[in-house]
Amino acid sequence: MRIKSIKELNLKDKRTFLRVDFNVPLKGGVIEDDTRIEEALPTIKYALDKGAKLILATHLGRPKGEKKAEYSLKSVADYINKKYFRLAFVDDCIGESVKKAIDGLGSGEAILLENLRFYKGEEKNDPTFVKALSEFTEVYVNDAFGTSHREHASVYGLALKIKDKGAGFLIEKEVNALDKLIVNPEKPFAAILGGAKVSDKIGVIESLLDKIDKLFIGGAMAYTFLKFNGFKVGKSLIEIEMLPTIDKIYKKAMDKNVEIFLPVDHLASTSLDGQPIRLDNEDIDDNLMGLDIGEKTIEKYKRALKDVKTILWNGPMGVFEKDQYSKGTFEIANFISSLDAFSVVGGGDSVSAVHKAGVADKISHISTGGGASLEYIEKGSLPCIDILKY
Binding residues vs ligand AMP (CB under 6 A): 195-197, 200, 219-220, 237, 290-291, 315-316, 318-319, 321, 347, 349
How far is Cα 46 from Cα 48, in angstroms, rounded to an integer? 5
Between residues 63 and 290, which has the closer beta carbon with respect to ligand AMP? 290
Report the nearest approach of ligand AMP to the CB of residue 168 (Å).
26
- Which residues, 6 or more positions from 14, have their beta carbon under 8 angstroms from its beta carbon? 52, 53, 138, 139, 164
**Exposure letters 342-376 (e unless 16+ CB within 10 A, then b):** bbbbbbbbbbbbbbebebbeebbbbbbbbbbbbbb
Report the nearest approach of ligand AMP to the CB of residue 180 (Å).
22
Between residues 89 and 320, which has the closer beta carbon with respect to ligand AMP? 320
With both helix axes pointing from N to C terminus, report the angle between 35-49 and 74-83 in degrees, rounded to the nearest 10: 70
Between residues 88 and 237, which has the closer beta carbon with respect to ligand AMP? 237
The catalytic residue among 65, 203, 274, 348 is: 348
- Which residues, 6 or more positions from 174, have their beta carbon under 8 angstroms from its beta carbon? 145, 365, 367, 368, 369, 372, 373, 376
- Closest residue to ligand AMP using C-beta atoms: 195
Question: Which residue type occupies 14?
Answer: K
Report the nearest approach of ligand AMP to the CB of residue 220 (Å).
4
Between residues 154 and 314, which has the closer beta carbon with respect to ligand AMP? 314
Are the C-beta atoms of 54 and 181 separated by less than 8 Å? no
How far is Cα 11 from Cα 5, in angstroms, rounded to an integer? 12
Q: How distant, in Å, are the alpha carbons of 80, 262, 327, 336, 372 from that of 301?
A: 42, 9, 14, 11, 26
Report the nearest approach of ligand AMP to the CB of residue 170 (Å).
22
∠ CA 273-276-277, rounded to 5°:
140
Task: Identify whether 219 is a catalytic site residue.
Answer: no
Task: Identify whether 380 is a catalytic site residue.
Answer: no
Between residues 166 and 318, which has the closer beta carbon with respect to ligand AMP? 318
How far is Cα 192 from Cα 211, in angstroms, rounded to an integer? 13
Task: Identify whether 358 is a catalytic site residue.
Answer: no
Between residues 116 and 181, which has the closer beta carbon with respect to ligand AMP? 181
- Strand 164-167 to strand 139-142: parallel, antiparallel, or no bridges (unpaired)? parallel
Between residues 176 and 199, which has the closer beta carbon with respect to ligand AMP? 199
The catalytic residue among 131, 161, 197, 248 is: 197
Report the nearest approach of ligand AMP to the CB of residue 35 (Å).
18
Report the nearest approach of ligand AMP to the CB of residue 268 (Å).
9
Task: Identify whether 348 is a catalytic site residue.
Answer: yes
Are the C-beta atoms of 218 and 320 separated by less than 8 Å? no
The catalytic residue among 14, 15, 36, 300 is: 36
With both helix axes pointing from N to C terminus, report the angle between 169-182 and 370-379 in degrees, rounded to the nearest 10: 50
Closest CA to 59 of 71, 74, 67: 71
Report the nearest approach of ligand AMP to the CB of residue 237 (Å).
4
How many other β-carbons are positioned within 10 Å of the β-carbon of residue 155? 29
Residue 167: phi, psi to the nearest 5? -110, 145
Residue 197: phi, psi to the nearest 5? -125, 135
- The set of catalytic residues is 36, 197, 348, 371
